Amino acid sequence: MRLLVAQCSVAYEGRLGARLAPAVRLVVFKADGSVAIHSDAKAYKPLNWMNPPCTVTEADGQITVATPKGERLVIEVHEVVSDQRFDLGDDPGLEKDGVEAELQQLIAARVEALGSGLRLVRREYPTDLGPVDLLCRDADGNAVVVEIKRVGEIAGVEQLLRYQERLDRDGTLAPTRGLFVATRIKPQARVFAESRGVACLEVDLEELRGTAPPDLRLF
């Protein structure tokens, strides 16, 4: 990983044009080929970024990040504050907390309860962004991407949308359908999800475990 802190300006050339005026920013170059530009604000979200695969070239104070689709991110470096490289080694991946891991296991065992005709293709389906909780097919054979959270928030919906964007590049899966599952989904997350075509579903952990009274329903 390379961490570049520099006074820089940035121009994006692609489906839309976008520019960042000169300022001190952090530019992160990851081994997977992704590039993200951060300010000292905006929480965890980058100001601009390029997803892999992409090619990075550098010459005469200019860094150009290009994708096979013809998108370009041009970074003009005016002054370097810090430029460091680190070898982070292999990462074991994100481990869900006990509740989320248990939810995933229980739902995978009875995935048809999420929708009529739904069948499981694979748990932890791999992508370059991390594994999808569940990849399923519906009764019509369409791919359904399922993201499972203990508490459903906007960040979880955004994560699901990123997974869908990746999987939609695969002609054997596209177009995918998103399903956001949690024991409780916050209202803002539900509104955001539904505005992006993602279905939301709340589940009861005790019923999934089989410890709730028999007259209760799962959904």
Q: How confident is the model at residue 216 (pLDDT cuts 50, 70, 90)?
A: very low
Q: What is the rounded CA–CA span in Å between residue 200 and residue 124? A: 20
Evaluate the CA torsion angle 16, 22, 25, 27 in order and state its sign.
Answer: positive
Percentage with pLDDT > 70 across the chain: 91
pLDDT tens per residue across span 138-189: 999 999 999 999 999 999 999 999 999 999 999 999 999 999 999 999 999 9
CA distances from 94 to 33, 129, 132 (A): 20, 11, 12
Whether the predicted model's global pTM rises above the 0.85 cut: no
**DSSP-based three-state secondary structure for 167:** helix
Residue-range domains of the chain with CATH: 2-85 (2.70.180.20), 98-209 (3.40.1350.10)
> Which of 18, 13, 23 shows the shortest CA–CA distance to 73?
13
**Are 29 and 54 contacting, i.e. CB atoms less than 8 angstroms apart?**
no
Whole-angstrom Cα distance, residue 196 to residue 157?
9
**What CA–CA distance (Å, rounded) separates 23 from 78?**
9
Q: What's the CA gap between 58 and 52, in Å, rounded?
A: 17
Instruction: Give the model confidence (pLDDT) of 41-86 as tens digits.
Output: 866 788 998 888 889 999 999 999 999 888 999 999 999 999 999 9
